[in-house]
């Protein structure tokens, strides 16, 4: 089976799963509050959702996962092919795959969606699926579930549809996904290909192209391709990557043109030809430039083997120059964007970028002024914002913050002038060093935290200090707590909040042990404050005074009776 067919199959599944997610949200928000299901409560009070699905036929299956981060309205999609003895086993593997990703991303409260009723019913009760072929997957799933603070299982199709409707929707999905193409998949080959090209360890963010990698590509083109005429061009018929222009129009626009210069801003590169329009490359997660016979820095997620066909099957734009020189822009994951523009620097996305971290460094005064305006934004989140400063990605942000001894969640506006000057210096030093060695990580200084980013939590150390991994704004973050400490009022407020929570938890445990409730009103106030903290929404079943017409609830009456009985018993004992 051709890769394009597999890609189409899994892309259709992605659309179907994401539609189920939006339908679930629409369904929950359209029904009266008194009838809102536990699904609604789960979606509202969890920060993350995981959608899984599988297509099975003749011992082989394609499994797909969508992970949704409700905090910043982002989502991530991944898929692969597996060997599977049954459709039930395939669905179970998909659930395990989705939970594994959620665990790697350090998500703690999730809602898991799957259209496999047998699996969902079993895992919701914390038991294994009653099928011996899936037992080992079931145990693995239940083990992972224990690591979450909240994990609710729910069917994809929704809680209000009949069994007949479920069966009909499942039948339509099978037809839509075209299961008949799956038997021709070579699962072993696909597993190897998909793992190398389409999956990544969220902690190993150096696999993505950032400013040093894109600059290395620009310099390679500048050194080898300037002044040469384009004799031939082959552009992939891929409307996801090739944006806003057909492949034939793109090829015609390049043919016969001479490459005059290569430019870069942030993680974007464009070629200046002797006349417009100019090709522009937004590298995305796995975009890469390869020049035949020339060593260009490779990063793991884009790596194309040297013994593979040339140009690569992942090539999106292939160019042959006079003199025999050839280069290709490849993208395995199809998150890159290639455009044909008259003036790339004057239109989005390049026109919306902030100053380039290498070419347009801020002065200390400019950085202090810019940070002072961002009162509630964590410093790492701000560094990753390309409209603030362009070119800094996840690993560079972690590196400069470690070198500057700044906690990644420290509010940007609370940094002193001295800290800002140190941060500015570290940004310059880290980026210049990475560019100097052509983004070759083996030549990075040994005292960089970069070299320990791929290690497991608890096993990562630098200079004897342990590295911890947290999730900051949906991105895995490596830092050293011993050296990068939160400071100022922000740190004091955080410590105070943690103490209150621990004291409150201890008080609740003591109260349960004594079975005495001396101050029920205080507990209700605490619950009300916790509820207001979640965007003003109330949990299912909680009613306001207006809804109860001023009458106390049954739960409130029972609590008051307990208090009175306890008080009477104390008086008698005295």
Catalytic-labelled residue, pool 20, 91, 210, 399: 210
For residue 102, report the phi and psi dihedrals to the nearest 5 degrees.
-60, -40
Residue of 267, 316, 332, 337 with catalytic role: 267
- β-bridge pairing 48-57 and 109-114: parallel
Angle between helices 135-145 and 87-104 (to 10 degrees): 30
Does the active-site annotation cover 167?
no
Find out whether 574 and 566 touch, Cβ atoms under 8 Å: no
Active site residue 210: yes
Radius of gyration from C-alpha coordinates of the chain: 28
The answer for residues whose C-beta is within 8 angstroms of residue 127's C-beta and 6 or more apart is none
SS3 label, residue 410: coil
209 is catalytic: yes
For the record, the structure tokens of 93 come out as 């593997």
Q: What is the secondary structure of 505-534 as a DSSP string? A: HHHHHHHHHHT--S-HHHHHHHHHHHHHTT
CB-count burial class (<10 Å; 0-12, 13-18, 19+) for 132? exposed
The residue count of the chain comes to: 574
Helix/strand/coil (H/E/C) assignment for every residue in 66-115: EEEECCCCEEEEEEEEEECCCHHHHHHHHHHHHHHHHHHCCCCEEEEEEC
Please choose, from the candidates 90, 315, 76, the residue with its C-alpha nearest in 3D space to the C-alpha of residue 187: 90
Other Cβ atoms within 10 Å of 360 Cβ, number: 13
Q: Rounded to the nearest 5 degrees, what angle is found at the Cα of 211, between the Cα atoms of 405 and 198?
A: 100
Give me the active site residues, please. 209-210, 267
């Amino acid at each position: 089976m051709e890769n394009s067919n597999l890609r189409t199959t899994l892309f259709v599944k992605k659309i179907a799963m994401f539609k189920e997610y939006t339908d679930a949200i629409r369904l929950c928000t359209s029904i009266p509050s008194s009838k809102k299901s536990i699904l609604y409560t789960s979606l509202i009070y969890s920060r993350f959702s995981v959608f899984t699905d599988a297509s099975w036929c003749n011992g082989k299956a394609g499994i797909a996962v969508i992970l949704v981060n409700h905090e910043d309205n982002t989502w991530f999609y991944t898929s692969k092919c597996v060997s599977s003895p049954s459709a039930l086993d395939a669905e179970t593997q998909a659930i395990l795959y989705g939970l594994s990703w959620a665990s790697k991303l350090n998500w703690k409260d999730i809602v898991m969606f799957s259209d496999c009723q047998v699996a969902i019913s079993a895992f919701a009760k914390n038991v294994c699926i009653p099928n011996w072929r899936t037992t080992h997957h079931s145990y693995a799933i239940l083990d992972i579930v224990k690591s979450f603070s909240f994990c609710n299982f729910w069917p994809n199709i929704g809680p209000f549809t009949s069994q007949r409707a479920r069966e009909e929707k499942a039948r339509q999905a099978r037809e839509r996904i075209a299961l008949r193409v799956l038997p021709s998949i070579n699962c072993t080959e696909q597993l190897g290909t998909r793992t190398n090209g389409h999956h990544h360890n969220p902690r190993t963010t150096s696999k993505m192209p950032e400013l040093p990698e894109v600059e290395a590509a620009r310099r390679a083109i500048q050194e080898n391709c300037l002044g040469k005429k384009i004799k031939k061009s082959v552009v992939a018929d891929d409307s996801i990557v090739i944006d806003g222009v057909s492949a034939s129009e793109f090829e015609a626009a390049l043919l016969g043109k001479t490459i005059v210069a290569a430019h870069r801003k942030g993680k974007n590169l464009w070629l200046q030809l002797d006349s417009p329009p100019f090709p522009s490359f937004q590298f995305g997660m796995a975009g890469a430039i390869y020049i035949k016979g020339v060593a260009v820095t490779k990063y793991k997620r884009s790596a194309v083997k040297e013994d593979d066909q040339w140009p690569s099957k992942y090539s999106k734009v292939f160019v042959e120059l006079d003199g025999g020189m050839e280069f290709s822009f490849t993208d395995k994951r199809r998150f890159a964007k290639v455009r044909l523009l008259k003036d790339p620097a004057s239109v989005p996305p390049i026109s919306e970028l902030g100053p380039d971290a290498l070419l347009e460094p801020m002065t200390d005064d400019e950085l202090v002024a810019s940070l002072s305006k961002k009162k509630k934004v964590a410093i790492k989140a701000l560094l990753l914002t390309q409209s603030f400063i362009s070119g800094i990605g996840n690993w560079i942000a972690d590196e400069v913050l470690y070198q500057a001894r700044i906690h990644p969640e420290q509010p940007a506006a609370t940094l002193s002038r001295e800290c800002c000057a140190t941060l500015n210096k570290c940004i310059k030093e880290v980026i210049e060093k990475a560019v100097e060695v052509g983004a070759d990580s083996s030549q990075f200084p040994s005292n960089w935290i970069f070299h320990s980013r791929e290690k497991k939590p608890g096993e990562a150390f630098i200079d004897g200090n342990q590295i911890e991994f947290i999730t900051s704004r949906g991105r895995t973050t490596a830092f050293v707590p011993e050296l990068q400490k939160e400071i100022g009022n922000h740190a004091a407020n955080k410590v105070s909040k943690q103490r209150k929570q621990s004291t409150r938890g201890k008080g609740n445990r003591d109260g349960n042990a004594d079975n005495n409730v001396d101050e029920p009103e205080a507990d209700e106030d605490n619950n009300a404050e916790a509820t207001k903290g979640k965007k003003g929404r109330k949990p299912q079943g909680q009613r306001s005074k207006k809804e109860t017409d001023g009458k106390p609830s049954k739960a409130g009456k029972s609590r008051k009776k307990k208090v009175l009985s306890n008080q009477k018993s104390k008086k008698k004992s005295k």
